[in-house]
Structure 1
Amino acid sequence: MRGYRITRERLGDLTVAVVVGVITVLAAVADDRAGPVDCALIVAGSLALAAHRTAPRAVLAVTTSGLLADVVLAGPAAGLAVPVVGAVHTASRTGHRGTAAAAAAVFLGGYAAAGSATSDIVRETLLLAGWFLCAVVTGLADRNWQAYLRQTEQRALEAERTREEAALRRAGEERLRIARELHDSLTHSISIVKLQAGVAVHLARKRGEEVPPALLAIQEASGEAMRELRATLEVLRTDEPTGTPALLVERARAAGLAVDLTVTGEERPLTATVDRAMYRIVQEALTNAARHAGPAKVSVRLAYADGDLTVFVEDDGAADPSRPPTPGIGLTGMRERVTALGGTLDAAPREQGGFAVRARLPLGEAG
């Protein structure tokens, strides 16, 4: 996109230079002075304007000397000042107002010296002086306007960044508030249920009685609820990754899950949002595999490409493509993270059995 914009600007500059050259040549023809040398000097001085963005002072020198040489050789003509006025304007706009004013003075001096000291030449010289003054002033005004636009854009970006930081801070405070509420209410209640169920099971076994299956189910469910609640509170208290995919794989192996990790492509630093999303996707996919895949082998692959990172997590577990699972909170959260980054997520049972998660994350500049 940037290359296209640069090409378009260069084509526009070349078009303007050609138009200025054509106008100046036509003015010379109207004054009966369109000889080969005149045309060559006019064309060279006019076409030089096409390079005003990259070399404004060089363009000013070429245009002024070329058109001034034509004035000295063939005599003064007001139309010859048109390319020089354009060069003075572009030089002033790029901050070389002193050089622009000096070039204008040189051209005006040569213009006045090349003609006889008649009232017409004096009048034309003064008129051209007004043109050059306008060129310098408009160049400065354009420069100041561009600087103002850049400052306005910078302030807008800074304000947007400030709003984003404030929103993130409020979101973090809200997560902490929810975590405190859950800890103070649910954790206590579930702990009581678990404790009472454990006491009841212990007393039943101590008396030699058969433990009711419902009581065992309550004890097991309360313990699982406590683990889930602690995990939820940990997520609420911090949304930042607490490790790397390699660490997640090591933890999964320590828990008895057969996991392999593969990294392809040129590994590079990631932005905080992409790194966080990659971590959470691998974490959630391994958690789901440990819960639902049964005794299965899991493969994790991170594929780096020029513009994106693809995360593959596949297992050969018990998932059946004829019975797709109902998306839960984990899969929904993964999809929301990927969508927020402008990526894509595919999570479904494989045709050969097992489950596969494929997430493509666009890469931005590393922060």
Structure 2
Amino acid sequence: MTSPDPLEPGVAARADAALDRIGLTTPRRRDAALAAVVAVVSVAMVLVVLADPALGAALRGGPLTVPAVLVLLVVQSGALAVRRTRPALCLAVTIALQVAMAAVLPPAGFLRGPAPVIAAYTCGAWSPPRRALTLAGLAGLVETAGVVGSAPAAATVAAVLTQLVSSVLTYLAATMLGAWVATRRRYAEMARLRAAEAVAAQRARADAAVGAERARLARELHDIAAHHLAAMVVQASVVERLIDRDPAAARRTAADVRARGRATLQDLRQVVGALRERGEDGEEDGLADGGAPVPGLAALAELAAGSGASLHVDGTPRELPPVADVSVYRVAQEALSNARDHAPGAPVTVRVEHQEGATVLEVRNGPSAAAPEPRPGGLGLIGMRERAELIGATLDVGPLPDGGWRVRLELPRSPA
């Protein structure tokens, strides 16, 4: 579904941007600017009328008539500064000044500034329809009463009816125009919201389909790996038995194991490649390193330096299993990220201890030196606990007596 006028959102956005560039960033400032423009236009309109001898004669009365009319027009225009915050008050003030203007002008003269019409339009756009129409009708009646009361000698029935119809129709038309524009605005906004909801629902369905397909591929990955690895284990045991009795057969079986291993790796690469999400440009999403090898403890010094933390390594490093090596690094990465988010400016220390029976990672941060920025709750602790369970490690997370925080991961060493 599209908006009633496809150009309307773009025009409104460009108008808002133009007003923002000149400093009119709030409704109050924009209304004040409108009031100033209307005041200038109203004064210019009176001066143009006075320049015409035939039209100006109807406005000239006493020596103070023209200055009084100009002052009333300026004040009347100034009431538009509150047109959106107090639309009913704005209309009431402009109509009251319109009545005052009718009293100042000579009996044959009548002048309606643009401010009351704009005020009636604003009531239609920002007030409930019934209230807006009531205010427009009252505005027409009050203006007619003021005009008739200022010149009772000329108040014939025809003149009164003409003035009444002119006033009521003018304000009702302005009010209905404002209501129509507000309705179009609301309709366009609803259309945009529905379009956004439709796009979001479509994306959700697509994501669900992708998730289901990825789950199927993951099951296929498991089946492929289990099938090929089981066969390779059987063939390896055959090689072990034949290596002394029939070396030629052992070599053939070993070659078959090698070929099957290569085929398995190729199948795994294909399935894993399908499981990895890719962006629109073909790059893998969520991989900050662009597909580089997964880091481990060897990259911990670079990670600590990039986070502004100090690193201390105790003991002789020993090689960890690949999964454990990656998991320890990821726990350190998440701990440093949490320290940066929840304790900005606090000193952070990373310590790795290579003990006789375990490898211990400890990340400590002091109390926050500044108020942390509000952030949505994450899944960092849950992810760290899952990684610890995966490699059989013990995770201890909690506050320190000085107001800081500690993350301690202890990974027992498997017997050789």
TM (norm. structure 2) is 0.50
Partner residue of 1:198?
236
Aligned length in residues? 264
- Match of 1:91, as an amino acid? C
Partner residue of 2:43?
22
Partner residue of 1:84?
116
C-alpha distance in 2 between matches for 1:14 and 1:303 = 56
Deviation of 1:137 (Å):
1.7
Partner residue of 2:172?
133
Partner residue of 1:327?
none
Partners of 1:72 and 1:114 within 8 A in 2: yes
C-alpha distance in 2 between matches for 1:299 and 1:221 = 38
Partner residue of 2:188?
149
Range moving further from structure 2, 172-181 or 10-19: 10-19
Partner residue of 1:255?
none
Partner residue of 2:145?
109
C-alpha distance in 1 between matches for 2:46 and 2:135 = 26
Deviation of 1:40 (Å):
0.6
Partners of 1:108 and 1:128 within 8 A in 2: yes
Kindly tell me: are residues 183 and 295 of structure 1, through their superposed partners in 2, closer, same or farther at Cα, counting changes over 3 Å? closer
C-alpha distance in 1 between matches for 2:192 and 2:204 = 18
Kindly tell me: are residues 72 and 366 of structure 1, through their superposed partners in 2, closer, same or farther at Cα, counting changes over 3 Å? farther
Partner residue of 1:222?
261
Matches within 5 A, 1:278-293: 280-281=287-288, 285=292, 287=294, 289-290=295-296
Deviation of 1:148 (Å):
1.3
Partners of 1:91 and 1:139 within 8 A in 2: yes
Kindly tell me: are residues 286 and 53 of structure 1, through their superposed partners in 2, closer, same or farther at Cα, counting changes over 3 Å? farther
- Match of 1:82, as an amino acid? P
Matches within 5 A, 1:230-269: 236=275
State the Cα RMSD in Å.
4.5
Partners of 1:194 and 1:222 within 8 A in 2: yes
C-alpha distance in 2 between matches for 1:216 and 1:146 = 74
Kindly tell me: are residues 108 and 301 of structure 1, through their superposed partners in 2, closer, same or farther at Cα, counting changes over 3 Å? farther
Kindly tell me: are residues 214 and 73 of structure 1, through their superposed partners in 2, closer, same or farther at Cα, counting changes over 3 Å? farther
C-alpha distance in 1 between matches for 2:211 and 2:205 = 10
Kindly tell me: are residues 14 and 193 of structure 1, through their superposed partners in 2, closer, same or farther at Cα, counting changes over 3 Å? farther
C-alpha distance in 2 between matches for 1:235 and 1:109 = 80
Partner residue of 1:300?
303
Q: 2:101 aligns with which of 70, 74, 99?
A: 70
- Match of 2:175, as an amino acid? V
Kindly tell me: are residues 227 and 366 of structure 1, through their superposed partners in 2, closer, same or farther at Cα, counting changes over 3 Å? farther
Partner residue of 1:13?
34
Other structure's SS at 2:303 match: strand
1:32 maps onto 2:64 in alignment: no
Partner residue of 2:206?
167
- Match of 1:107, as an amino acid? E
Kindly tell me: are residues 83 and 5 of structure 1, through their superposed partners in 2, closer, same or farther at Cα, counting changes over 3 Å? closer
Partners of 1:63 and 1:83 within 8 A in 2: yes
C-alpha distance in 1 between matches for 2:220 and 2:146 = 85
Kindly tell me: are residues 58 and 82 of structure 1, through their superposed partners in 2, closer, same or farther at Cα, counting changes over 3 Å? same
Deviation of 1:298 (Å):
4.8
Larger radius of gyration: 2
Deviation of 1:103 (Å):
3.1
Q: Deviations over 1:94-133 (max 9, x none)?
A: 1150434433332232223222213335423322222122
Other structure's SS at 1:32 match: coil
Kindly tell me: are residues 231 and 71 of structure 1, through their superposed partners in 2, closer, same or farther at Cα, counting changes over 3 Å? same
Q: Deviations over 1:165-208 (max 9, x none)?
A: 12212222222333344444x33542244224422343256769
C-alpha distance in 1 between matches for 2:209 and 2:228 = 29
Range moving further from structure 2, 151-160 or 189-198: 189-198
Kindly tell me: are residues 22 and 217 of structure 1, through their superposed partners in 2, closer, same or farther at Cα, counting changes over 3 Å? farther
TM (norm. structure 1) is 0.56
Partner residue of 1:94?
126
Partners of 1:16 and 1:50 within 8 A in 2: no
Partner residue of 1:334?
none
Deviation of 1:281 (Å):
2.5
1:187 maps onto 2:214 in alignment: no
Structure 1 runs not aligned, ≥5 long: 240-275, 305-364
- The percent identity for this pair of structures is 23
Deviation of 1:156 (Å):
1.1
Partners of 1:24 and 1:82 within 8 A in 2: no
Structure 2 runs not aligned, ≥5 long: 1-12, 51-55, 278-283, 308-374, 378-416
